[in-house]
Structure formats: C-alpha cells, structure tokens
C-alpha cells in the first residue's frame, strides 16, 4: 500500500504541514496535560520555531535536548526542522557527565533540559522544559495560526541533517548518527507502507522520544492521521491501565514492556474473575530494539485476543531493515521479515562474499535509508558505512549476524557482541534467552556473554525457581548451552530505551546478591 500524497515532502516539518492540511481537526498528540489536533500541533510548531529563533537558533545549528516525552517536545521536533537546525535528542536520564562531551562535540547552540541545568556551569545557552511548554502554548488553545504548506527554498535542505541520534554507548563511546531529512523520510515512508497505520488509530507510546523507535511513531501517525498518546511516566503498574483508558489500537513494544503488559494483564484477570473480562482494543503490537522471543510474542497474542504481533529488525544507522507482515507470524515465527521496499539485504561471509540462503553471515544493508555516518567520527564511520564501486551512497555493514531464506525473509542470529563460542560450540544469547522465556514461570530472561568458558550467567524474572530453570534448559539446549548460574530478580534493570541493562547485570555478578534475589 503506497502512502499517497507525500511524494513532495522534503523535510520533517513538511510531514506535519501536509497532515494539518489533510486532517486539521483529527487528534494528533495527547499527553497527561491535554490533547492537540493536527492544526493545533502545526500552530504550536510555528510558535516554537519563532521561540527558537529568538533564542538565537539558526539554520545549521544543533539543538540538544534532555527531555521527557510531551506534546511540547513533539512541537519542538518539527520546530527545529522549520528553523533548519538539527535536533539532538538525548534520554531524560542522561547525566551531566554524559552530556558535557556531546554538547562540546556538537557545538550545541542551545540545550533544552528538564531539571539540573546548574550541573553545567560552563554552558550557559540553556532553556528548561517549562519555557518550551510556554512557547508551544503561546498561540492559544485554538491554534490561531493557519497551517500553510511550507516548502523550503533551499535545494540542499533534504540532504541537511534533521537529527543526530546518539548510540547507547553500552559497548563503546556513544556516537552520533547523522540522519539527513531525505534518509529519515524514506525510512518513515517505507515503514508506513508496511505497517499501514490507519486513520483514527490510537498509538500508545511508552518509549522515550529520544529513542528513534519512539520518535518515528510521531511521523507514522502523521502519515495516517492517527493519534499519538504519550504515556505518563508514572509507576510501571499503571501502564496497562493507561493503555486501556486511551483505547489504544497500536502499541510499539520492546521485550521488557511486552513482559510487563502480560504480567499486568494476568493480575487484571485474577482480580476481575471469570466474568470480568476486559475488551481488548489493541489490534497491533510492533517490536524492534530487542527481539521478542517467539514464546513471548505468542503469549502477547493470547493475552490480547485479536491483536497481531509484527516483529521488525532495525539498527539506528539505517532506522529499519525488515518487517514481518502479521499474516506471516505463525508461518515464520523466527523471522524478522523481508527488507523494506526499495532496500536490499546481503549476507556476507568473513571474506566479504555473499553466501547462499540459510547460511549465517554479516547482515549488510543497501538503500536510501542508510544514514550519513557518525558525527565527526571518521574511523567508526569508515568501518560501518562503506562505499561500493559505482554507487554514490554508503552500504551499511551492521556487525549483526543472520541469514536469508529462499524467499528473502531475514532471520536474526544476534549482534556481534551477542554471539560467542563456548566449549567449542558457537551460540548466541538470543537462543538461550528464548529457551529460558519458554520455561513456565519465567517472565523475562537475559544472558550475559561469558568472560571465560567457566561462566555463563542467566538472569530471569518471574516465579520459577533457579534450579528448575537450569534443569529445563539442560533438557532443551544441552550441556554446552546451559547457563552455569541463574539469578531470579524481582525486576530486570533496563536502559532508558527499555532494553535490558547488561552493564547493571554484570555489576550484580561481582556484588552481593540484592535483597529478594534467588540463586542456583
């Protein structure tokens, strides 16, 4: 299905201007404080752009943010684009220590942050979340400014950086991925074509908007005329209640969020009893960031009757690689789908040669969504973004491993740092985690890559006893793949993006067991 009416858009704010023309009175974005229509969001965006100019932001500048998700933040995304500047969205949990080098290397014109501005006495070009919110609301509740299509007269605008998305930095120094407007728009259109969000869909987003998986929900909603609902940052136990209350029809998840929703729904059924079934409004769960184990995807479908689960594989350096249509989920439960329209995936061996179907190798991506490398990092850029003779754009060497089947469906085996050899057998953390998640009583599971052959630690949450988990895995996987140690935690530590925090888990191995943890 083509995304009609968007071929002329060249910049991020062009997405919004077209949406405001097509769906002016449809709800666009909602947070805990209120809701804006597409016309009101457009007006707020123009007000924020004016505010940025008053703060000295000009075309080509970088605006760094450390903000939670809010309506004002969505206006800022488009407002920075209107000015011709580049947005650098960082997680709200970013510390002053992490923030300082990013401000320096991006030569930030402005930092907009929630709290803690005094932590950076050497950087004075700051504004807080309240100032941004006031600017966004300055046009009044009716959005008095008209939504007029805004075509940039600058022919270089589509190639200018719209975003700089920083990697998590869990395995190396964080790097800023340079994302030009045209690459972002191509990726967003291709994803929209595959997922087919609908007019009047309600997309419930618990993910931070500093995470590109969360941020792109804003663009996908604008293409379709859907509403983006930004979850309250309250307690995890309220997530299902929020989802039910807003009538969500689409929910993007990472494994930790999926496991949480399943647990909360089970408690809901226990409280309500057999006669208290709750009507499910969710028609689609999407997944990327970290792969859902087949058992977890199946349980999610059973927990929310009528909902489909759509696995995807992506890497921020090209946004998205593949999407599995919901009608293929039961036929290919291990697959992460086919490449996006207009892109190609090649599997290479260590010598750089393409391999036949079903042979595992490095996943290499070619297409108009491959970004422009890392900000002022020529070495890492040269390693991952490589030129091909006769082709002007980069080809992305992901460092991830997988294989293609005979029909072109991709199967993800693991990231470079998740595949290892133990006792002469090559394996990945993904296969062990998937097996652990299928053990009765296990909600979530994370395996750490061993530092030596005598260690293979497993962390799980749920009600299963550690000894039972290890015994079940020995029967399912054999001795080489069975963890040497299992720790049952009350909750799994996660990063700002909702992925398992492996650094925190590694620290637990050398520390005393936390209160309530069980070992085997």
At the fourth CATH level, the homologous superfamily of domain 338-415 is: Luciferase; Domain 3 (2.30.38.10)
Residue 4, pLDDT > 90, answer no
Give first-to-last CA distance, the chain, whole Å: 51
How many angstroms separate the CA atoms of 218 and 74, rounded? 7
pLDDT score for 1:
36
CATH 3.30.300.30 fits 428-519, yes or no: yes
pLDDT score for 146:
43
How many angstroms separate the CA atoms of 413 and 68, rounded? 33
DSSP single-letter state for residue 454: T
pLDDT score for 428:
84
Q: What is the pLDDT of residues 478-517, one digit of tens each?
A: 888 999 999 999 989 988 888 889 889 988 887 755 444 5
How many angstroms separate the CA atoms of 108 and 61, rounded? 7
Q: With pLDDT > 70 as the criterion, what percentage of the chain qualifies?
A: 89
Transcribe 323-384 into DSSP letters: E--GGGTTT-TT--BEEPTT-EEEEE-TTS-B--TT--EEEEEESTT----BTT-HHHHHHH
Exposure class string for 175-211: b at 16+ Cβ within 10 A, else e: bbbbbbbbbbbbbbbbbbbbbebeeebbbbbbbbbbb
> Where do the structural domains in the chain lie, given as residue ranges?
12-232, 338-415, 428-519
Angle at 76 between CA 15 and CA 231, to 5 degrees: 90
Question: Does the global pTM surpass 0.75?
Answer: yes
Q: What is the pLDDT of residues 5-57, one digit of tens each?
A: 333 468 999 999 999 999 999 999 999 999 999 999 999 999 999 999 999 99
pLDDT score for 149:
47
Residue 139, pLDDT > 80, answer no
- Its CATH architecture, for the domain 12-232, is 3-Layer(aba) Sandwich (3.40)
pLDDT score for 498:
80
How many angstroms separate the CA atoms of 353 and 298, rounded? 36
Q: With pLDDT > 90 as the criterion, what percentage of the chain qualifies?
A: 66
DSSP single-letter state for residue 174: -
């Amino acid at each position: 299905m083509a995304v009609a009416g968007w071929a002329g858009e060249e910049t991020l704010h062009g997405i919004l201007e077209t949406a405001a023309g097509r769906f002016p009175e449809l709800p666009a974005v909602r947070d805990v404080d209120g809701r804006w229509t597409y016309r009101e969001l457009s007006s707020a965006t123009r007000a924020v752009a004016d505010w940025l100019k008053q703060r000295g932001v000009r075309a080509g500048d970088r605006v760094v943010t450390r903000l939670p998700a809010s309506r004002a933040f969505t206006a800022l995304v488009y407002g920075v684009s209107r000015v011709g500047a580049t947005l650098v969205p960082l997680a709200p949990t970013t510390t002053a220590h992490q923030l300082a080098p990013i401000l320096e290397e991006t030569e930030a014109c402005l930092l907009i942050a929630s709290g803690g501005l005094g932590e950076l006495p050497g950087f004075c070009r700051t504004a807080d979340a309240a100032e941004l919110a006031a600017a966004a609301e300055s046009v009044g509740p009716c959005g008095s400014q008209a939504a007029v299509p805004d075509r940039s007269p600058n022919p270089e605008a589509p190639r200018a950086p719209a975003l700089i998305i920083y990697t998590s930095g869990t395995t190396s120094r964080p790097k800023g991925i340079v994302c030009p407007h045209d690459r972002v728009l191509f990726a967003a259109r291709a994803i929209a074509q595959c997922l087919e969000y609908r007019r009047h869909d309600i997309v419930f987003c618990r993910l931070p908007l500093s995470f590109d998986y969360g941020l792109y929900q804003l663009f996908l909603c604008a293409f379709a005329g859907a509403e983006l609902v930004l979850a309250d940052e309250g307690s995890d136990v309220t997530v299902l209640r929020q989802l039910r209350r807003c009538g969500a029809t689409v929910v993007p998840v990472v494994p930790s969020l999926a496991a949480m929703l399943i647990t909360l729904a089970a408690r809901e059924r226990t409280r309500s009893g057999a006669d208290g079934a709750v009507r499910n409004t969710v028609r689609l769960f999407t997944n990327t960031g970290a792969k859902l184990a087949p058992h977890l995807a199946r349980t999610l479908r059973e927990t929310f009757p009528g909902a489909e689960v759509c696995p995807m594989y992506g890497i921020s350096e090209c946004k998205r690689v593949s999407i599995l249509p919901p009608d293929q989920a039961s036929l290919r439960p291990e697959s992460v789908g086919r490449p996006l329209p207009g892109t190609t995936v090649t599997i290479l061996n260590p010598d750089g040669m393409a391999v036949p179907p079903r042979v595992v190798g490095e996943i290499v991506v070619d297409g108009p969504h491959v970004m422009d490398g890392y900000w002022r990092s020529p070495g890492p850029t040269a390693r991952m973004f490589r030129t091909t003779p006769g082709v002007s754009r980069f080809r992305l060497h992901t460092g991830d491993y997988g294989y293609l089947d005979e029909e072109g469906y991709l199967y993800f085996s693991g990231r470079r740092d998740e595949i290892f050899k133990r006792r002469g057998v090559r394996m990945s953390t993904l296969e062990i985690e998937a097996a652990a998640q299928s053990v009765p009583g296990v909600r979530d599971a994370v395996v750490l890559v061993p530092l030596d052959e005598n260690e293979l630690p497993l962390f799980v949450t749920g009600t299963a006893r550690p000894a039972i988990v290890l015994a079940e895995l020995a029967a399912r996987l054999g001795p080489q793949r069975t963890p040497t140690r299992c720790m049952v935690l009350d909750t799994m530590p996660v990063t700002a993006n909702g992925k398992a925090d492996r650094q925190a888990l590694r620290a637990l191995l050398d520390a005393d067991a936390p209160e309530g943890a069980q070992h085997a």
